[in-house]
Structure formats: C-alpha cells, structure tokens
Amino acid sequence: MLIISNLKAAINEKNILKGVSLEVKAGEIHAIMGPNGSGKSTLAAVIAGRDLARITEGTVTFMGKNLLEMTPEERARQGLFLGFQYPIEIPGVSMMNFMKTAVNEQRKYKGLDPLSASDFLKIMREKKELVGIDSKLTNRSVNEGFSGGEKKKNEIFQMAMLEPKLAILDETDSGLDIDALRIVANGVNKLKTPDSSVIVITHYQRLLDFIIPDVVHVLYDGRIVRTAGKELALELEDKGYDWIRKEIETSGLS
Amino acid sequence: MENDQDKIINNVTSGEYKYGFHSDIEIDSIPKGLNEDVIRNISLRKEEPEWLLEYRLEAFRHWQTMTIPQWANLKIPDIDFQDIIYYAAPKKKQGGSQHANSIDPELKKTFEKLGIPLEEQNHLAGVAVDAVMDSVSVKTTFKEILAEEGIIFSSFSDAVKEYPDLVRRYLGTVVPHTDNFFAALNSAVFSDGSFCYIPKGVRCPMELSTYFRINAANTGQFERTLLIADEESYVSYLEGCTAPMRDENQLHAAIVEIIVENNAEVKYSTVQNWYPGDKEGKGGIFNFVTKRGLCRGENSKISWTQVETGSSITWKYPSCILKGDNSTGEFYSVAVTNNYQQADTGTKMIHIGRNTKSTIVSKGISAGHAQNSYRGLVRVLKKASGSRNFSQCDSLLLGDKCGAHTFPYIEVDNQTSIVEHEATTSKIGEDQIFYCNQRGISTEDAIGLIVNGYAREILNKLPMEFAVEAQKLLQISLEGSVG
Amino acid sequence: MNVHNDCRERYHKLYEKNIEKIKAKSSPYVNACREPAFEKFMQLGIPTTKNENYRYTDLSHFFNYDYKNYFLPGREDFLKAEQFRCNVPDLDTHGIILLNGFYPTLTDKLRELPGGIMVGSLNEAAKTFGDKIAQHYNRFINGDSDGLVHLNTAMAFDGIFVYVPSGVKLQKPVQVVNLVDSDNDIFNQHRNLIIVEKNADLTLIICDHTLSPQKFLTNAVTEVYVGEDSHFDIIRVQNEHNNAAKITHTFIHQEKNSTASSNNITLHGGLVRNSTHHFLGGEGAECSAYGLYLSDKFQHIDNYINVNHAFPNCRSNQLFKGVLDDMAKGVFNGRIYVMKDAQGTVAYQKNNSILLTDDAVMDTKPQLEIYADDVKCSHGATIGQLDEDALFYLQSRGIDRREAQLMLMFAFAHEVIQNINVEALRERMDSLVMQRLRGELSRCANCMVKCG
Ligand SMILES: Nc1ncnc2c1ncn2[C@@H]1O[C@H](COP(=O)(O)OP(=O)(O)OP(=O)(O)O)[C@@H](O)[C@H]1O
Ligand SMILES: [Mg+2]
C-alpha cells in the first residue's frame, strides 16, 4: 500500500530524514518509535505533503501512485489520513462546516453526491459515539480552546468521518487519560478493516497493548535502524534507546 | 496602598543626578551665535579641508530654510539658536596636543569621577574609549592595539586629517544634511565625535566606546559619529553621556551614521544619561539625535540597544535601512522618564531587500509628570518579499500624572511579508506587588524588582560592563521608590 | 499647497453661491451653525496627506472636481425612491430611504412609531423638534479638526432624524437605505441626528448603495446621543461602485453606563473613508467599534477610529479586519485616548489585514495616548497572509487549497460579522462576504441592478 524508499528530506538546509525505507502492506499495523527529534513527525508530514521539509531524494508510492507529485488534498482524497501530533486551532472555522466540506470533497472525488444535512448529522452522531467525543466540541471552531486530550480525540473523530485507507497517527496517545486511551484505541481498532492500514507513532508500549502492531520500526537520527515484531516495543520500553545507540556506534553506521 | 504608592512615587522624583558636577576647566570658545563666519571659524580651528567647509556651509544654508519639526508628541520651548555657543574646547596647556600622553589633570579627574579612567592600564579590560568633552575629543585609548588589526578608531577630527578620503566617501551618505532640521544643524556645526572603520574579515577584539561629556555652560554639543563595518567584520560599540546640572537648557544634536557591508554586524549600544532637569523641570538637556544605519550588504546586521534615562527632552529614532538581502535590523530600547521629562523615541525599519528581518522591543517607563512616547515606522517595500517584522512596545505607568503613548506606523506593500505589532500600556501590577509583599518584600523593593524585570530583556542585550551600569542607572532614575 | 488652496477657494465660491438657497429652506438653529462652521472650514480646508489623520488617503481627486448639483433635491429624486426595495430575507425593520442625501417623500416626512419614537427627515424634524435639535445638533463635533465635518455643518441640508424617548426600547431596527442615483456626477452632503434618551434602546442599520455609474462624492455626518443606561448599535453596510467616494463621520456621544457599538462593513467602494468617534462621556460607559473591509481593483478603504475615554471605569474594544486583493489599498488609523482622570480604563484595539497580492497595500497606524495610570490598554496589528499550518490542516483532510483559503478568509471576516446582533442581517452579511470572497459580488463594481 505504502512504499517509501530511500527518502531524504531537509528543513532549512538541515538534513532531517537521511534515507528512510519502509513498506506497509494492506491490513498491516506498523508502529514507529524513536527518540525525540529523530524525525518521526517530519516523516509523517512529508508523507502528508507539508512543504516545510524539502525532499532531496527518494520516492513514496501510495496504492501504486507517486505520492510526492500530489497536493496534500489529493493525498487525503486517495485515502491518506494524518493524525497530527499538535493539531492546530483554526478560530472561526466551525467543526461542522469543516467536516462537511471535507466529507463532501471526498465524496465528490469518488463521484458521489454530497450528503444531505440530515445524513451528515446522523453520521456525525454515530462517529462521535464511536470515539467518545463530547457533543459540544463539534459545535466549536476547529480545535479552538480544546484541551490537549480533546484535540487528540478530535483527530480520531475526523479519521472516523473520513474512513481512510492509511492512517498515520502521530503520538495520538500523548495527553490522553487512561479511559480516553482505551476509547481511542478501540476506535482505531473498530475503524480498521482487513484492507486498511495504520501507522502509529508513539513513545509508549501502553498504546501498543491496545493497538497491536505487526511491525515495529525504530527511527533514529533520520534513519530506520531497526525493524522487528511487536516484541521490539517491549524491549525498548525496558531498556530505552541507549543500547541501540551503542550498537549503531559500534557498527559505524552513524 | 494608594498612599503608600504615592509616597514611593514621590520618592522616585527625589533621586539625585550623580553626574551633575561641573569641572573647572579653562575653555577656549567661539562666542555665541550662528552664522557663516562662525562655521568658517569652527572649520578653521579644526584645520579642515575645503570640501568639508563647503559641506558645512551647504548644510547651514539648507538649515536656514527649515523649521523645527512639530510632529513629535513633545512640548518644545522656543530655542534661540543665536544664544548658543557652538564651539567650546578645553584649553590646550602650553601648546601641547590634546592627545599627547600628558592629559590635563583636571580633565583626567573629571573622567575618573565619571568612572571613565583615561589611562589604559586603569581601564576596564577590553574596552577602548574615545572621550569627548564639549566640542573636542580629549583622548582615545587603545588606538595602537586596534591599529594592529587594521581597525581605525579615532576622534572624528583626527580622522578628517588622517583618512580624509574615507570620511569624505561616507559622510552624509546615510543621513544627508537635508534629512531633518537637527541633522542639517549638526551637519553645519558638528564638532567632534568618533570615527571607526573595521576592515574586511576583522572581528574587533574589544568593545569600542565613546563617552560624551558636556561641561561648558551655554554650549551646544553637536557630535558626529561615523562607523563603517566592512565585509565579514564585527564590532560592538558603546556610547555614554552626562552633563552638569544647570538651570538653563542645553542643546545636544548629534548624528550617528553606520554602514554595514556583506555579512558584517554592528551592535550599537547607548546609555543616555544627559542631565534631565530638576524636579520642577528646570534645566536639562534637549536631546535631538539622528541615528541611522544602512545594512548595505547581504546578511548584514545592525542592532541598536538604548537605555534612555536622561535629558529633559529626547527626540531620537535610531533606524535601520535594510537594503541588502537577508539583512537584519534590531532595536531594543528602555526609556525612563520622570519628573517633567519628555521622550519621543522609537525607530524606523525600512525593508528594501528580500528576506529582511527586523525586531523592535521597546519598554517605556513613565513616572512623575513625565510624558513618554514610542514612535516607530515599519515600512516594507514592494520588492522586499519574504520580509518579517515583529514589534512589541510596552509602557508602564508609575503614578497618575504621567502619560504613555504609542504611535506605530506600519506600511506594507508586499504580499509575502509578515508584520506583527503588539503594544500594551498598564500601571505596575498590584497583584505582582502584593505577591512580593506576601513574600516579605517591601513595596518599594517590589517596584524595583518589577521595573528591573520589565526592562531585563533589553538590559540583557547590553555588553556585560554596561548592563550593570545601566541597571544601576535605572534604579537611580527611579530612586527612592524603585531602588 | 496649491491644490489645497484651490480646493478651499472652490468651496468658498460654492458656499457663497448657494448658501442663501439652502438657508431659505432650513431651520434657524441649523442655519445659525453654518457661518461659524464655514469659517472653521476655511481655516482647516480639505484635508491633505499632510494631515496626520489623512496621511495615507488622498482626497484631492474627488474634491477637486466639478459636480453638478450639490444641495437641494430635484423633483425626479422623489419619484425614484419609491422603486427601491431592500430584499434581505427575514430582515424586519422600520425602513427609510435617503436619496442623494435627501429625504425623498413629500408627505409623511416624519413618522411616529409606537412609544413616541420619531423617524424621518432631519430638515422636517427641525420644524417641530426645535428644542431637541438645539440640544444635540452640532454638539459633539465642535472641537473636531477635520475640515470636512465643518463643511458638512455649513452646507448640509437634510438627512435622517431618529428620536427614541426615555424608557423606550425599539425592538425592530431602523434601517436607512442610502441611495445615490443620478444622471449627473454629484456631490452630496447629508447630516443625520440620532437621539436615544435615557434607558432606551436603538439599532440603526445604514446601507450605502450607488445605483448609477456616475462619479459620486458623499460627505456625511452622523451625530448620535446615547443617554444614560441606554444601548445603541449602528451597523453600516457599504456597497458602492468603484467610481464613488464615500466619506462618513460618525460621532457617538455616550452618557453614564450606556453601551454602544459601531460596525462598518465595506464590501465595495472606490474610495471609502469612515471616521468613527466614540466619546465615553460618563462613568461606566462601554463601546465596541468594529470594521471589515474587503477590497480589490483600485479600491481604497480607510477606517479612522477614535475612542475617547473621558471618564473613569469605561471599557472599549476595537476590532478591524480586512482582506486586500489586486491593487487595493487599506488604511487603518485607530486611536485610544485616555484622559487624565479616566482611571480604571480598559481599552483594546486590534487590526489584522491580509494581503492577497504584491500590489495590495496596507498602512496601519494604531495609537495609544494615555494620561491616566490605572489602565489596561493594548493594541495589536498584523499584516500578513493566511496561516500556512491551518491551510495544510484543512488540505490534509481533503479540502481543496482554494476552498481552504476561502474558509480561512471567511473565518477571518466572520470574527467581525459575528458581532452584528440582528440575526437576519448577520446571516445576510455572512453570505455576502462569502460571495464577495468568491468574487461573485464583483459585478457590483458597476452594478445598476437594484439588488439591495
Ligand atoms: N520547522 C522546523 N524548523 C526547524 N527545525 C525543525 C522544524 N521542524 C522540525 N525540525 C527539527 O527536525 C528534527 C526532527 O523533528 P521531528 O518533529 O520530526 O521529531 P520527532 O521524532 O517527531 O520528535 P518527538 O518525538 O519529540 O515528537 C528536530 O531536530 C527538529 O528540531
Ligand atoms: Mg513528533
């Protein structure tokens, strides 16, 4: 579904991604872990099409198409979803109008008629329940004045509304209380279909207790330095990143 | 609480000016008044070349067509320009040169009293000083050491003699003699000041500084500073000033011009402490200054930092013309006005080149019956794509008889630029004072702490030695209450 | 300097030539104000860019021009007015039409609404409400240093009069539809006087339209008295063609504990200058001043706002926003003035502008002048573009970049619109702003269709 090969990207002339290769097949759940500043969010942003980072090398294909040639909205309509680490507040743009526009743009792309107001409200209601988001939040402007946890739930709510093929969730677990973590994780699991995929970026095993990954990667200094099964996450939880750092240093990779 | 604060604020006004003494030095001066003969006389005494006299005369003729600017938020009393002495110099002893190693002991004493020793061995390590008394420079230290690096640091008069071509090439290129009333006046009668040239690729190894002292009565001070930073060079320059306490007002009208080439940087710091007048507003210096820097080269940078505590009237707008692509201008200012002081000060940032950046942080503190205005212009020209400005102008009011005013002008002709301006005006926070009180700190100390904290961001921009001085000065200016 | 003098002379001649005609049909009190006002005008002249308050707005093109009829209504005016209908859905108002600055009906020139409210022609009201007029007319502008205000006092003949007696709260807004329509290039000066007595309530909507493509110049003065404990809102919606100049001066005088708001929404206009003055003339008074300007082509929109805190414990808030396209120029001149004894003042001001092209220009000059110490005042001004992060967020949800830009611009403008407290009008404004942003309203540029 998603094939990234030798992707390099720089922000303000500083190389952040230094050759990332990764393949996510339909139906798989991948976890990306790695120390702060290693480039996880940058990778997510590059995939979603944020032009802050300049791509210097490499390719990204999504469902067989060259992702890097598409605008961010085209990528979204192809079924790519990014749950932001820091969702931005957009005063004055109501959640309702925002979601309606997004859903209908996607329908238009698929050749479907726009949803009627009542159908739209019905779906909104269902999805709100699914992710346990407070009804009142959707009456406000996008993320405006939301608490940290509310913003994260709102991301999952939007994912539920848009039903993506590939969702990249950047630290969606941070800022959530224990109940919310479970609700959000359940939401992700319920939304997951046999042929949709998820990439979760996280620092903690506790999310992976709920969303069980098929593959775990470690991103370190702009490269994927280790790929293994779910046991890798447990090992990291236990030992931190120091041992990886040492191994890399001895192997002379960095 | 209210009464307490009133008392404290009253105390503020009793802070004494510590540099108000007058030194008994024989002076040699040209009689009061201004006409072409006086200008010829100044030029003659300074043994200037013909072209400079012509420059002065042209400026004078232009000045005669001009009137004193009225746009500032200042009440400027009528100034009788014929009632001022335009040239006064400490008398040379037995025909010796002023820059000879033997300085008049009285002069030396004066500067020592001001904390500016003129003997190199006594001086703060790492600061070279040009000391200017009234119309002439009396001593420039560390000249030789600097010369080894190719740095020229001398009095303006010496520079005219020794480097006439350099002076001629740059004089008036940033502030033309037609620029404004006071610039025209200065261009006609300027006396002394500093000249500084940093050659390509040189990081000036020490702070350069000029100390200005007005001593003689009825005398105006018209200094002129010219600073050139060639490619890839760096210099940090400081300027300080004081004057005796006198009942009459004295005029100070200076020009500072800075030219910065590719990848060079100039940091210009001022601690302005001219005599501010007494509690009733009698006396004090009228300070009308034109300071402007041209970021001519790419990636060049000018940073102005000023602590303005003195003068009865301040009219001053250190500015940056950001001509080179990616050049940067900064302006950091604390202006304190007390008693009957008036200040109208700020900056201009003119964005001409692409991706030019400017930052303005201005803190005004007003007490007594003082009026304190920030006036600033940010102009982004059409070609200056990708430019940015951020301005923050805050005013703090101590007492209910003073005023604080903010007049920013923002003119943007370019779509890809971002300009942000913020300003706040408030009285000193009662909850902050209470918080301090609750921790056992007296109200007076609390105000001191808060004001210092308020100005911290600016003081931190000053070179170390100066920062300490400036902090003391701030305390003295608001002494009694804000110590 | 020359242009300046020329202009003064031009208006001097005009005054001499027409004043007797104007006087003949006006009331004695209004007439008594004319001569001193004209003298003041002759001192001050037409403001030039040398005047700090007009630094960025050059009026000379419009004032140095020969217009046809200036002062008195013609017969055809009366016929035309009848045809115009405002079509804002569900907007239920007491409507009045002003055509070329005159109250265009011969009968029913002053209507009485329930509760003793009077609405109608100022010229007519001066005959029967002489004492009220004497009490308030020309009272709130006297010290003003703008020559145009005095030119208006000297020569204005008619305009709107609204009187709300003590204790009366008018539920429906009064809506003034200000039409300019003529076969000639015309200059009109009208004068409105609004009196809201104690503990009363009034919402006034003024819609400015041009209906024919000639060159028009309007110089209008509105004086408003808001009594103790009263509430007053004025909403001005401007939709004029690119060859029209509209200069409005609004003086709102507020007594103790009154609240008032002004909202200037400029959708279209060649040259627009709105100056709004809120004078907080009693303790505990509050005011809000809003403005929205959306302009393109060579349009020039200047908002001047002055809030004067003359008494303690008053509050004020200013919010002006604009989007500038093509070669348009926006100007904001905002002032908060806190007088010596106005302790406990809280005053805010914000001006945000978005430039959509490299040829658009925004000049802004927010000012704080503060002579009291127990105050909380702030202003902020930004000039920039739409937030890239917000745009990306919207795009990442599949929304088209162009659509995302529109959404953000609309949200930007809505922050001003949302303060309109007449729901039907607010909704109408939202949709007009959306149309305007989509470029669908641009035909208004030379529109002769009476779309309202
Ligand atoms: N806009 C930017 N400008 C400059 N540097 C940036 C920018 N965005 C990211 N960086 C730098 O890129 C590097 C990678 O950042 P990134 O946000 O991708 O890390 P991360 O792995 O997501 O970290 P975390 O676990 O803390 O979220 C960091 O060094 C960061 O400082
Ligand atoms: Mg991250």
Query: Is any atom of ligand 1 closer than 6 Å to the C-beta of A196?
Result: no
Closest CA to A225 of A206, A199, A244: A244
Q: Select the residue of B385, B405, B414 nearest C370 (Cβ to Cβ).
A: B405
C-beta neighbour count of A49 within 10 angstroms:
22
Q: Select the residue of C364, C371, C372 nearest B410 (Cβ to Cβ).
A: C364
Predicted pLDDT at B437: 67
List Cβ neighbours of B192 (8 Å cut-off, separation of 6 or more).
B132, B135, B136, B137, B155, B156, B157, B223, B224
Q: Do chains A and C touch (3 or more CB pairs under 8 A)?
A: yes
Tell me the per-residue pLDDT of B423-458, one tens digit each, with 9 for 90 and over: 999 888 777 776 666 666 666 666 776 787 788 888
List Cβ neighbours of C173 (8 Å cut-off, separation of 6 or more).
C93, C94, C202, C203, C204, C205, C422, C425
Predicted pLDDT at A253: 52
Tell me the per-residue pLDDT of B93-111, one tens digit each, with 9 for 90 and over: 554 444 445 567 777 777 7
- Tell if the CB–CB gap between B426 and C368 is shorter than 8 Å: no
Total residue count of chain C as it appears in this document? 452
One-letter amino acid of C164: V
Tell me the per-residue pLDDT of C232-288, one tens digit each, with 9 for 90 and over: 999 999 988 888 999 999 999 999 999 999 999 999 889 999 999 999 999 999 999
Give the span between the Cα atoms of B376 and C368, in whole angstroms. 13
Predicted pLDDT at C151: 95
Chain mean pLDDT for chain B: 85
Window 60-89 of B, Cβ < 8 Å to C:
71, 73
- Tell if the CB–CB gap between C412 and A84 is shorter than 8 Å: no
For ligand 1, atom 31, the nearest C-alpha belongs to: A37
Predicted pLDDT at B100: 45
Tell me the per-residue pLDDT of A77-130, one tens digit each, with 9 for 90 and over: 899 999 999 988 888 788 888 888 889 888 888 899 999 989 999 999 999 888
In this structure, are residues C338 and C345 in contact, taking their beta carbons and an 8 Å threshold? yes
Predicted pLDDT at B9: 42
Helix, strand, coil percentages (3-state) for chain B, rounded to 5, are 25, 35, 40
Cα C225–Cα C231–Cα C233 angle in degrees, nearest 5: 80
How far lies B282's CA from each of A105, B75, B276, B311, B339, in Å? 73, 14, 9, 11, 10
Give the span between the Cα atoms of C18 and B250, in whole angstroms. 56
Q: Please name the residue that has the structure tokens 């709105």.
A: C274
Q: Select the residue of C52, C343, C368 nearest B425 (Cβ to Cβ).
A: C368
We report the CATH number of the domain holding residue A16 as: 3.40.50.300
A249 in any annotated domain: no
Cα C192–Cα C239–Cα C249 angle in degrees, nearest 5: 30
Query: Is any atom of ligand 1 closer than 6 Å to the C-beta of A228?
Result: no
Average pLDDT over residues A54-67: 94
Total residue count of chain A as it appears in this document? 254
Long-range contacts of A49-55 (CB under 8 A, 24+ apart): A49/A75, A49/C392, A49/C395, A49/C396, A50/C392, A52/A11, A53/A9, A53/A10, A53/A11, A53/A16, A53/A17, A54/A9, A54/A10, A54/A11, A55/A7, A55/A8, A55/A9
Average pLDDT over residues B114-128: 63
Question: C57 vs chain B: nearest CA distance in angstroms?
Answer: 13
- Tell if the CB–CB gap between B415 and C378 is shorter than 8 Å: no
Predicted pLDDT at C2: 44
Does C361 lie at the interface with B, CB-CB under 8 angstroms?
yes
- Tell if the CB–CB gap between C396 and A72 is shorter than 8 Å: yes
Residue A154 has pLDDT above 50, yes or no: yes
Give the span between the Cα atoms of B205 and B235, in whole angstroms. 8
Q: Select the residue of C400, C401, C411 nearest A90 (Cβ to Cβ).
A: C411
Question: C344 vs chain A: nearest CA distance in angstroms?
Answer: 29
Residues of C in contact with A91 (CB under 8 A): 411, 415
Cα B291–Cα B296–Cα B301 angle in degrees, nearest 5: 70
3-class SS of residue C392 = helix
Residue B24 has pLDDT above 50, yes or no: yes
- Tell if the CB–CB gap between A93 and C392 is shorter than 8 Å: no
Question: C277 vs chain A: nearest CA distance in angstroms?
Answer: 28
Cα of A12 vs centre of ligand 1, distance in Å, is: 12
Which of the 8 DSSP states describes residue C102?
A: B
How far lies A191's CA from each of A98, A187, B313, C114, C260, in Å? 21, 6, 71, 62, 52
User: For C339, which residue in chain B has the nearest alpha carbon?
Assistant: B403
Q: Give the number of domains in chain A.
A: 1
If one residue of A7, A8, A11, A17 were mutated to test the ligand 1 pocket, choosing by the most ligand atoms within 8 A of its CB, it would be A11
Ligand nearest to the CA of A34: 1
Give the span between the Cα atoms of A122 and A100, in whole angstroms. 12
% of chain B residues with pLDDT over 90: 51
Average pLDDT over residues B256-264: 97
Residues of C in contact with A50 (CB under 8 A): 392
Cα B322–Cα B325–Cα B330 angle in degrees, nearest 5: 40
Residue B253 has pLDDT above 90, yes or no: yes
Interface test mutation site (partner C, options B425, B427, B433, B481, max chain C beta carbons within 10 A)? B425
Predicted pLDDT at C181: 83
Q: Select the residue of A49, A88, A109 nearest C390 (Cβ to Cβ).
A: A88
Backbone φ and ψ of C187, nearest 5°: -115, 120
Closest CA to B198 of B168, B228, B169: B228
User: For B377, which residue in chain C has the nearest alpha carbon?
Assistant: C365
pLDDT band at B214 (very low <50, low <70, confident <90, very high): confident
Query: Given its phi and psi angles, is residue C90 left (phi above 0), alpha (psi -120 to 50 degrees) or beta?
Result: left
Bridge partner residues of B305 (DSSP): B269, B332
Tell me the per-residue pLDDT of C296-305, one tens digit each, with 9 for 90 and over: 889 999 999 9
3-class SS of residue C201 = strand
In this structure, are residues C224 and C234 in contact, taking their beta carbons and an 8 Å threshold? yes
Residues of B in contact with C364 (CB under 8 A): 409-411, 421
Residues of A in contact with C389 (CB under 8 A): 88
Cα of A22 vs centre of ligand 2, distance in Å, is: 18
C337 vs C210, higher pLDDT: C337
In this structure, are residues A44 and A170 in contact, taking their beta carbons and an 8 Å threshold? yes
Backbone φ and ψ of B447, nearest 5°: -60, -40
Cα of A96 vs centre of ligand 2, distance in Å, is: 28
User: For B424, which residue in chain C has the nearest alpha carbon?
Assistant: C378
Question: C292 vs chain A: nearest CA distance in angstroms?
Answer: 15
Give the DSSP H/E element, type plus range, for residue A209.
helix A205-210
Closest CA to C396 of A63, A110, A70, A30: A70
ipTM for the assembly: 0.82
One-letter amino acid of B143: K
Weakest-pLDDT range from A90-94, B17-21, B102-106, B170-174: B102-106
Which structural domain, as residue segments, surrounds residue A154? 2-195+205-239
Interface test mutation site (partner B, options C370, C371, C405, max chain B beta carbons within 10 A)? C370
User: For C356, which residue in chain B has the nearest alpha carbon?
Assistant: B415
pTM more than 0.80 = yes
Q: Select the residue of C359, C370, C381 nearest B404 (Cβ to Cβ).
A: C370
Average pLDDT over residues B58-69: 94
Predicted pLDDT at B98: 46
Does B408 lie at the interface with C, CB-CB under 8 angstroms?
yes
Does C283 lie at the interface with A, CB-CB under 8 angstroms?
no
Question: C391 vs chain A: nearest CA distance in angstroms?
Answer: 9
Predicted pLDDT at C74: 64
Cα of A41 vs centre of ligand 1, distance in Å, is: 7
- Tell if the CB–CB gap between C356 and B415 is shorter than 8 Å: yes
DSSP string for residues in A38-103: SSHHHHHHHHHT-TTSEEEEEEEEETTEEGGGS-HHHHHHTTEEEE-SSPPPEEEEEHHHHHHHHH
Does B424 lie at the interface with C, CB-CB under 8 angstroms?
yes
Cα of A207 vs centre of ligand 2, distance in Å, is: 16
A115 in any annotated domain: yes
Dihedral sign from CA coordinates of C65, C71, C72, C78: positive
A-C CB pairs within 8 A amount to 78
A163 in any annotated domain: yes
Question: B362 vs chain C: nearest CA distance in angstroms?
Answer: 14
